[in-house]
């Protein structure tokens, strides 16, 4: 079974440009999450989709960030316009909750997209 | 509010020695606790998780962690370090369920000396 995949693996853009990150969750997983790690800091939650709906977007830093999950499959995270402080590694994760709190609730992470804003 | 504190951003041990990575949490409700590992150039991988069952949790690659409510700790241990254990380790907590958002500690980079 394929894991969570993210594209691109690296992106280098200039301040003011737009970048779109993509995440493909594990097939059949309804829950999809975005996290970010800015250099030297903790990994921080950005938002959580359940299917195509935003369940929790409390971690989105500002309105320059737009996340979508059309059709409840893959998700995109767009940063427009990018700023220097947006540099970091963006992780996506997916899970399929069973309601039993067992291993099927595990959030499986992708390899991340390293974003560098110059 | 929930939070996680990892003591020591960098830990170095000799091959074959005990590995002990410290984690303390704060949570207003019974937490779900996790340890994730990130090997070089790879994504985050779940090592183990505590979900209110047994307080001693065994994970992959010989790692285990013990939930101690009185100490609000969830330290990660491995009896004998291997060179392949060199990685960054993250302690994390979530509330309500393990499908909720995860709050991570700042990470501990583990180095293994030959």
Contact B46/A43, CB-based, under 8 Å?
no
Q: What is the pLDDT of residue A16?
A: 96
Q: What is the pLDDT of residue B31?
A: 81
Report the chain A residue with the minimal C-alpha distance to residue B100: A48
User: Does B36 contact chain A (CB < 8 Å)?
Assistant: yes
Tokens of residue A24, six digits: 């493909």
Cα of B17 to nearest chain A Cα, Å: 28
* Helix-strand-coil split of chain B, %, nearest 5: 10, 55, 40
User: Does B91 contact chain A (CB < 8 Å)?
Assistant: no
Give the 3-state secondary structure of residue B60.
helix
The pLDDT tens digits for A79-102 are 999 999 999 999 999 998 666 555
Cα–chain-centroid distance for residue A76? Answer: 7
User: Does A90 contact chain B (CB < 8 Å)?
Assistant: no
Mean pLDDT value of segment B96-114: 86
pLDDT band at residue B98 using 50, 70 and 90 as cut-offs = low
A85 and B16 in contact (C-beta within 8 Å)? no
pLDDT band at residue A39 using 50, 70 and 90 as cut-offs = confident
The pLDDT tens digits for B22-76 are 999 987 777 889 999 999 888 899 999 887 778 899 999 999 999 998 899 999 9
Cα of A60 to nearest chain B Cα, Å: 13
What dihedral do alpha carbons A44, B93, A67, A107 form, nearest 10°? 120
- Report the candidate in B85, B93, B95, B83 with the shortest Cα–Cα distance to residue B38: B85
């Amino acid at each position: 079974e394929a894991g969570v995949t993210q594209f691109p693996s690296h992106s280098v853009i200039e301040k003011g440009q737009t970048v779109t990150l993509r995440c493909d969750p594990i097939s059949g997983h309804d829950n999809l999450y975005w996290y970010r790690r800015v250099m030297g800091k903790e990994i921080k939650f950005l938002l959580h989709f359940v299917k195509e709906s935003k369940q929790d977007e409390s971690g989105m830093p500002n309105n320059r960030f737009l996340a979508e999950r059309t059709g409840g499959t893959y998700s995109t995270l767009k940063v427009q316009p990018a700023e220097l402080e947006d540099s970091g590694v963006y992780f996506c994760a997916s899970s399929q909750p069973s309601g039993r709190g067992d291993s099927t609730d595990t959030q499986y992470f992708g390899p991340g997209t390293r974003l560098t804003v110059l | 509010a929930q939070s996680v504190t990892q003591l020591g951003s960098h830990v170095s041990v000799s091959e074959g020695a005990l590995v002990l990575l410290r984690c303390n949490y704060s949570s207003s409700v019974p937490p779900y606790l996790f340890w994730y590992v990130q090997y070089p150039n790879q994504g985050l991988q779940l090592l183990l998780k505590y979900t209110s069952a047994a307080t001693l949790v065994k994970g992959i690659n010989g790692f285990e962690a013990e939930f101690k409510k009185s100490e609000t700790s969830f330290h990660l241990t491995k009896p004998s370090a291997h060179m392949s254990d060199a990685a960054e380790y993250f302690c994390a907590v979530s509330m309500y369920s393990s499908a909720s958002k995860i709050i991570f500690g700042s990470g501990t980079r583990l180095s293994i000396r030959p």
